[in-house]
Chain A
């Protein structure tokens, strides 16, 4: 094994321990079961401010389950999920104040315009004071073309919807982003724009946890990657220490006979 640290087979990279409240996302021995099937097995994971953590793995590896546990949509079988130093299980609504979630397909209300959608979601996030001019600016910052802002989203492409999703996160001023395959199905240009947006958010100190199949995007965008297999985090590494080829090779090594789609 080169360049990657397996978890728990290998010890965690040696780094100066940080106080727990400096991590915006933390999983402590987090486990989840669907009936008899172990979907997530004692996951330990931490994401600090300004960090983009990419979770890699095939379908069924436990990436989306991890995100659902951070969102409080699932109850852990054991262990705990923490957001900004608060346990999701005991403070589900409070922890969501810090979170923004962007799914693979950002779904919007087709009868409303992009601006109206943002206005609605921002209001739900408690940001109704921003005002239409401010929201318009946020949509443009997120990369939405000005002429699309007042159009109903029924005519939006997937990339445009993803940008509205980012705009919602920006309007919310979330300190933590949970992304579930956000670039899946996007064309290369839209994917690049999305990566640039994430980079800008990282610079603002936002912590990002992104589940993805896309090794290239993970290497390009992420500051750290974790590889999951059958509910376990089997490897974890800083991307700066890896060449793209290394990441692909080690990913395949850890997948073993499972393969999985890269």
Chain B
């Protein structure tokens, strides 16, 4: 009975010209967004790969040079694009995907697409995640706002129930019918997406497949929420028109109002400095120190070294005080950066928790966080990469400074050669595991689950109590 109802719903829907046009439009947008996202990721990967190889080649072939000059010469680190990032670019366009690693400075990320885009480009950019999070729910609403309300208005609900069809079977049939119509649109898109993932970069790894499976599950849960909500409203609304208005209001709150409120509220509760303020604070603290973090004193370091090595003259020291001072200066800078970045990242994390909590009012916030997390483009994974890049920078700077300290003497002109540069391991970043991502996003997953259960309960209640007309 359920399957028969679902089949009839599907036939009815597919023959409806309004559905065909809406599905064509949304399907085209989804395919364009997936295609554009995939091309963008492939292009970025190729560019990063070329740039990484070139940067490394330049690093390795610096020729004879003082190690500290090499430290200032620096090297680029590129955030790898995970295969699923073509579905959801997440915060990448805002945070950037590349960072210049050099002495003394923890640089900002560059290659920020949003920074380079005009206001119109930002408004008009269509991503697959945007289509999945905003337009598919809209299509679900258009498909199912009248599922029960229209039947009631037209009188078919009385006829169906008079046949002895249990209400819950009718509701399940309606839900499956809607799901079937959506599947006509989404299954080909998902198959294309899967082919793109498998076809790109020599096949998909187990981790990628795991992320893809859970991403699919998350969106399935999200769409189920909309189907169940639509059925609940359709069952209880006084008319199909009222059901449509109510559902469009819910959709607007979910997709337009809640994200804006989440941003404003989280910023208001946990303010973060502007880029200018942040840079200014770091600059001031680097110049003067702060609390017990003080700039290194070259003379004090030299005196300490003389004492440690039991010599009286700098020329007798087995190490070059300049190298030691440079390293201590580096460590001083690291402490200043750690202090400021930790506060900044903590604020971002608290803001993220506000978004997670507000997802109780709007499921779109929960699926957005899960989607970015599984695509590898959320703030937490950006932080993971930034920390790894910074660790690498510090190791590299330490290697340069200690080479200077150990292989030269005070006042001597010291030049290292390619052997030193080539001995430095490349920056080999490994993205966090799926378990790490899910650990970070467990609240979003729980909230989405809450929505699935809540919406299903609302649908069950609505259908059980609906007026027959």
Contact = CB atoms under 8 A, between A and B. Distances in A.
A99 to B, nearest CB: 6
Given A73-B161, A121-B163, A124-B160, A109 B4 contact: no
A123 B1 contact: yes
B163 A111 contact: no
B159 A172 contact: no
B155 A103 contact: yes
Given A112-B8, A124-B1, A124-B5, A107 B164 contact: no
B12 A96 contact: no
Contacts of A106: 159
Contacts of B15: 111-112
A94 B154 CA distance: 25
Nearest to B155: A107
Contact of B155 (A105, A120, A172): A105
B282 interface: no
B4 A96 contact: no
Interface string B2-17: 0011001001100110
A131 to B, nearest CB: 14
A98 to B, nearest CB: 9
B368 to A, nearest CB: 36
B468 interface: yes
A233 interface: no
B61 interface: no
Nearest to A96: B164
Contact of A112 (B12, B161, B163, B164): B12
Given A93-B164, A93-B166, A125-B164, A107 B159 contact: yes
A73 B8 contact: no
A97 interface: yes
A100 B163 CA distance: 7
A150 to B, nearest CB: 14
Size class of the contact patch on chain A: 20 to 34
A101 interface: yes
A116 interface: yes
Nearest to A165: B159
B164 A120 contact: no
A71 B468 CA distance: 11
Nearest to A97: B164
Size class of the contact patch on chain B: 20 to 34
Contacts of B300: none
Interface in A63-86: 68, 71, 73
Contact of B156 (A96, A109, A126, A172): A109
Contacts of A73: 158, 161, 468
B168 to A, nearest CB: 11
A108 interface: yes
A42 interface: no
B156 A125 contact: no
Given A97-B164, A124-B5, A109 B159 contact: no
Contacts of A123: 1, 4
A103 B160 CA distance: 12
Contacts of B16: 111
B162 interface: yes
Given A96-B164, A111-B12, A101 B158 contact: yes
A140 interface: no
Contacts of A71: 158, 161-162
Contacts of B158: 71, 73, 101, 103
A63 to B, nearest CB: 15
B268 to A, nearest CB: 49
B415 interface: no
Contacts of A124: 1, 4-5, 160, 163, 165
B11 A99 contact: no
Contacts of A107: 154-156, 159
Interface string A105-138: 1111101100010001101111010000000000
Contacts of B163: 96, 100, 121, 124-125, 168, 172
Interface string B146-159: 00000000111011
A106 B158 CA distance: 10
23 contacts: A71-B158, A93-B164, A94-B164, A96-B164, A100-B163, A101-B158, A103-B155, A107-B159, A111-B11, A112-B8, A112-B12, A116-B8, A116-B11, A120-B4, A121-B160, A121-B163, A123-B1, A123-B4, A124-B1, A124-B5, A124-B165, A125-B163, A125-B164
10 nearest CB pairs, A to B: A96-B164, A101-B162, A107-B155, A111-B15, A123-B4, A73-B468, A107-B154, A125-B163, A120-B8, A107-B156
